[in-house]
Amino acid sequence: MIETLETIQNRVLWLATNMIHHANYNRPNPDGSKVGGHQASSASMVTILTALYFHYLNAGDLVSVKPHASPAYHAIQYLLGQISRDYLPRLREFGGLQAYPSRTKDPDKVDFSTGSVGLGAVAPLFAALADRYTRVHFGAGAPRRFVAIVGDAELDEGNVWEALLDDSLNTLNNMLLIIDLNRQSLDRVVPGIKANRLKALFAGCNWRVIEAKYGRHLQEYFDRPDGDRLRICIDEMNNAAYQSLIRLPGPAMRAQLLAIDPKLEALLADVPDDRLGALISNLGGHDFQELFDRFAEADADANRPTVLFAYTIKGWGLPIAGHPLNHSMLLEPEQIEALRAELGVGEDEWAGFPAGSTTADLIEKRRQHLFPADAAAPPAPTLTVPDTIPLPAGGLVSTQQQFGRALLAISREEALAKHMVTVSPDVSVSTNLSGWINKMGVFTASSHEESSQEHWTVTESGQHIELGISEMNLFMALGMLGLANELLQKPLLPIGTVYDPFICRGLDAFIYSLYSESKFIIAGTPSGVTLSPEGGAHQSTVTSSLGMELPNLHFYEPCYSDELLWILLASLRDLLDRENGRATYLRLSTKPIDQAPLEAARARLGEERLRRQVLAGGYRLHDWRGAEDVYKEYLVHIAAAGAMIPEALAAAAMLEQEGIPANVLNITSPRRLYETWQASYKGLPEKSQAGSANPFNWLIPHNERHAPLITVNDGASHAFAWLGSIFGMYTVPLGVDKFGQSGDRASLYRAMEIDSTAIVDAALKALERIGL
């Protein structure tokens, strides 16, 4: 079997290398930009990937592939019949194979998107947590394993260690992390001492640490008389020296080894010069039997995850093997032809294996094993989310308070609540999740760790996952829970909470999860300088802009309790739409707000119309046409969101006392408005959710578009500044454009010029500027 696997491995090496060569040398390149690719990085992975897909993996196992090994991965999927040969010449081409594995852009099945910043390294770990959760709550099903393959240099990324340090993850025994230890990064050879330090760190995080350091051929020589001298010689050689050694021709390599230890002469006497290089470079990560044994060893540990350090050579099998700068190095055309001849590739450069051959038979057997015909996902349960549910509200209530109450109310919808899971990075109490947790309990991945924490029950049946203080872990967990339907065929409705300013701390993982088209709800709270006592370090400024601009995301910043409830229910409904739904970001506040103005709007508009407009992005909270003794030619529009609504209403009252009519537009989702505007501008056949064919008549009718617009945001002013562009209105954007400090709320608002007085001043100046 191993001989057959070596044949497959060589074809994978050729196809991966040739895909990159074709993209850079043979395919037309209209703009002349470097296409690039990573022939050396793919080459170091071919044995590991071949061992996984043609021996180890079972149907249902999920794998995260090292980003730069994308060509090798796609070559394997081609041999397994998962993509047509037409895609092989289309690496890094628009609509073709992506530079790095992408679950949403590649034509073959990619389990986890990867991209060289440590996120793909831990995505399977959080998916394993989601798997453990769904097995407890929805039934076991067939066992599955989670495998991540990463380069050793990718372990420089801090998010990897944040994940390893979280206690909720260190009992996941179906997780295998394979380190492609080729000891080279982009620009350098990694110091040898680093591998030992990494192993110690994993062990300290309760991981089982195993290694595939040397292949069986080299181990055989170690077992001979004086073989320990050869092991010591290689073990004590620094990485740079080893990489240099394996690039030498046989006679020069022998001379260098004997210069280190003359007693090696007898041991190596039966090794011809032309085979000496193969012996010295026989590392465990390129030896099938060594890998098989290590994989079996990993499966044998029933208590914890396993990391396998697989020693490899970057550029293995290529003339650039071991070159210190081979990361982006490309083989020249003559080197490609020599490789083709060496690997026995015929006239057809994209050929697989002839039907009926031993190799083709093994591949077909593995195809049927990995992709069984009866592997269709079970039908998803039909879940219904109501438009609204009874929820007491009134008096002074913050959106953060109402968020907690809304979750508790939704928990009474048993069929729906069964699929909901909340996640928080040690801020559950301060983000108002206590009610939900008190009722639903805290989930533990280990039945041996069931306990009570103050008033919370910690059990396998809990529906809240409490993480340590790591926003990266939060967004990775939400991302994988939000893909449970696609990865595990178990639909979940994940909801996370985080202090709003620290969304930026987890931004890489947030973007990664959105790029993977995960569906979840994240509540950022408290937000803005409204969190006045906490000071500038805890006062968010740019998060509303992130909500506006990140793809695959809805963004809402409600002010009133019913707005929050309607938005939350609509967001849950959107999570159930696996084709077109998006994740949702809620920007909330701890500012208590009087609910009476919403009741006035409800009386004027009717509840259903109001709810529809809230979800569409905004509504006229205060309409000047209800004011008396005002001069309508001096009309001003004030558009605000969230915690700024009371200041906007106060400013409108002050203006009307001076005879200046003012509308207050409650912008519940500037993003929904922006997207409606863009759809209208581009001529897309899309009707506003507010029920009007003209997308903004319900906010600003035609006869009011001459008036100036003042926008107010407890965040960067530019996030709302575009609103006036819809109709070419004179606009004054107010917002938080500098860092805050500790103080009372009124002082902070005044300093940032977002208080009611600043709004009035901006309105008067705008009227003066346009000559009214």
Radius of gyration, CA atoms only, the chain: 31
Asked whether residue 276 is domain-assigned, the answer is: no
Q: 640 — phi, psi (to 5°)?
A: -140, 170
Asked whether residue 239 is domain-assigned, the answer is: no
What is residue 633's predicted lDDT score, i.e. its pLDDT? Answer: 79
Asked whether residue 424 is domain-assigned, the answer is: yes
What is residue 187's predicted lDDT score, i.e. its pLDDT? Answer: 39
Asked whether residue 734 is domain-assigned, the answer is: yes
Asked whether residue 231 is domain-assigned, the answer is: no
Query: Of all residues in the chain, what percent carry a pLDDT higher than 90?
Result: 80
Q: Where does a domain end: 565, 587, 609?
A: 587
Render pLDDT for 401-428 as a digit per residue (tens, 0 to 9). Answer: 999 999 999 999 999 999 999 999 988 8
Element housing 477 (H / E):
helix 471-481
CATH number, domain containing residue 542: 3.40.50.970
What is residue 771's predicted lDDT score, i.e. its pLDDT? Answer: 78
Q: Average pLDDT, whole number, for the chain?
A: 92
Residues 686 and 555 in one domain: no
Is pLDDT at 375 greater than 60 in this prediction?
Answer: yes
Residues 544 and 627 in one domain: no
CA 353 to centroid of chain Cα atoms: 37
Bridge pairing between strands 456-459 and 662-666? unpaired
Asked whether residue 475 is domain-assigned, the answer is: yes
What is residue 428's predicted lDDT score, i.e. its pLDDT? Answer: 87
Query: How many domains does the chain divide into?
Result: 3
Give the whole-angstrom CA distance, residue 601 versus residue 599: 5
Q: Which pTM does this prediction carry?
A: 0.94
Domain that includes residue 500, residue range? 399-587
Asked whether residue 197 is domain-assigned, the answer is: yes
Residues 210 and 349 in one domain: yes
Residues 415 and 512 in one domain: yes
> What HEC string does 378-410 produce?
CCCCCCCCCCCCCCCCCCEECHHHHHHHHHHHH
Residues 699 and 551 in one domain: no
Asked whether residue 146 is domain-assigned, the answer is: yes
Residues 621 and 582 in one domain: no
CA 358 to centroid of chain Cα atoms: 41
Amino acid at 329: M
Is pLDDT at 694 greater than 70 in this prediction?
Answer: no
Mean pLDDT for 57-72 is: 96
Instruction: Assign 64 a pLDDT band (cuts: 50, 70, 90).
Output: very high
Residues 331 and 411 in one domain: no
DSSP code, position 191: P
